[in-house]
Chain A
Amino acid sequence: MLIALKNICKGFAGVEVLKNVSLSIASGEIRCLAGENGCGKSTLIKILSGVYTPDAGSIALGGREYRALRPIDAIRGGVQVIYQDFSLFPNLTVAENLALNTQVSKGKTFVDWKEMRTTASESLEEIGVSIDLKKLVGDLSVADKQIVAIARALLHNARLIVMDEPTTALTQKEVGALFSIIKKLKEAGISILFVSHKMREMLDISEKITIMRNGAIVSEGEIEKYDARAITYHMTGHSIDEVRFEGAATEGDVPLLRVEKLGKSGVFKDISFSLRAGEILGVTGLLGCGRTELALSLFGREPADTGRIFRDGKEVVVGSVQDAMARNIAYVPEDRLTEGLFLAQSITRNLFSATYDRFTNAAGILDTSTIRSEASEMLRGFDIATPNSNNPVRSLSGGNQQRVVLARWMSTKACILVLNGPTVGVDVGSKFEIHKKLREIARSGVAIMLFSDDLQELISNCNRILVMHKGSIVCELGGASLQENDIIDCLRRLS
Chain B
Amino acid sequence: MLRGGEKMDGKFHLRKLLSTGNNIFQLTAITLFTFAVMSWLVPDTFFTMRNLRSMSFQFPELGILSLAMMLAMLTGGIDLSIVGIANLASILSGFVFLRFLPEGASNEVVLFFVAVVVCLAVLVGLLCGLVNGVLIAKFSVPPILATLGTMQLYTGIAVVLTKGAAVVGFPMQYSEIGNASVGGIGVPLIIFLIFLLLFLLLQKKTVFGINLYLVGTNAKAAAFSGIRTARTLVLSYMLSGALASIAGIIMTARTNAAKADYGASYILQSILVAVLGGTNPSGGNGNAAGILMAVLSLQFLSSGFNMLRFSNFAKEFIWGVFLLAIMIVNFCTNERHKT
Contact = CB atoms under 8 A, between A and B. Distances in A.
A341 interface: yes
B17 A391 contact: yes
Contacts of A353: 214, 221-222, 225, 227
B218 A365 contact: no
A272 interface: no
Interface in B221-237: 221-228
A450 interface: no
A13 B338 contact: yes
B339 interface: yes
B205 interface: yes
B2 A12 contact: yes
A236 B218 CA distance: 32
A331 B224 contact: yes
A342 B207 contact: no
Contacts of A344: 13, 15, 17, 217, 284-285
Interface stretch (A38-46, A89-97, A285-293, A454-462): A38-46
B3 A37 contact: yes
B92 to A, nearest CB: 31
A365 B205 contact: yes
A15 B4 CA distance: 9
Contact of A342 (B4, B205, B217): B217
Interface in A260-310: 301
Chain B interface extent, by class: 35 or more
A161 B221 CA distance: 34
Given A360-B207, A365-B201, A338 B221 contact: yes
A321 B15 CA distance: 31
Interface stretch (A23-31, A55-63, A142-150, A392-400): A392-400
Contacts of A40: 4
Nearest to A352: B210
A343 B218 contact: yes
A366 interface: yes
B205 A366 contact: yes
B221 A342 contact: yes
By secondary structure, the A interface counts as: mixed
A416 to B, nearest CB: 15
B229 to A, nearest CB: 10
Most chain A CB inside 10 Å of its own CB: which residue of B5, B220, B227, B228: B5
A390 interface: yes
Contacts of B223: 301, 321
Contacts of A41: 4-5
Contacts, number: 109
A353 B1 CA distance: 23
Interface residues of A, number: 46
Given A12-B2, A42-B5, A354-B226, A349 B210 contact: yes
- Greatest chain A CB density within 10 A among B3, B222, B285 is at B3
Nearest to B339: A13
A38 B3 CA distance: 5
Identify whether the interface residues of B are mostly helix, strand, loop, or mixed. Answer: loop
Most buried by A among B15, B210, B224, B285: B224
Given A43-B5, A392-B16, A364 B217 contact: no
A12 B214 contact: no
A364 B6 CA distance: 38
Nearest to A385: B1
Contacts of A166: none
- Give the one of B19, B201, B220, B226 with max A CB within 10 A: B226
Interface in A311-366: 321-322, 325, 331, 333, 338-346, 349, 353-354, 356-357, 360, 364-366
B220 A339 contact: yes
Given A331-B224, A338-B220, A15 B207 contact: no
B213 interface: yes
Interface in B174-212: 201, 204-207, 210-211
A301 to B, nearest CB: 7
Nearest to A296: B224
Interface in B50-83: none
B3 A398 contact: yes
Interface of A: 12-13, 15, 17-18, 37-43, 215, 301, 321-322, 325, 331, 333, 338-346, 349, 353-354, 356-357, 360, 364-366, 368, 390-392, 395-398, 408
In the A-B complex, list the 10 residue pairs whose CB atoms are closest, starting with the nearest: A42-B5, A40-B4, A353-B225, A342-B217, A43-B4, A17-B4, A354-B225, A13-B338, A38-B3, A15-B2
Interface of B: 1-6, 13, 15-17, 19, 201, 204-207, 210-211, 213-214, 217-218, 220-228, 284-285, 338-339
25 contacts: A13-B2, A17-B2, A37-B5, A38-B3, A38-B4, A38-B5, A40-B4, A301-B223, A301-B224, A321-B223, A331-B224, A333-B224, A338-B220, A340-B221, A342-B213, A343-B13, A353-B225, A353-B227, A357-B207, A360-B206, A366-B205, A366-B206, A366-B207, A396-B1, A398-B3
Given A37-B3, A339-B220, A353-B222, 17 more contacts: A38-B4, A43-B4, A215-B4, A301-B224, A338-B218, A340-B221, A342-B221, A343-B13, A344-B217, A344-B285, A353-B221, A356-B210, A356-B211, A365-B201, A390-B19, A391-B17, A392-B17
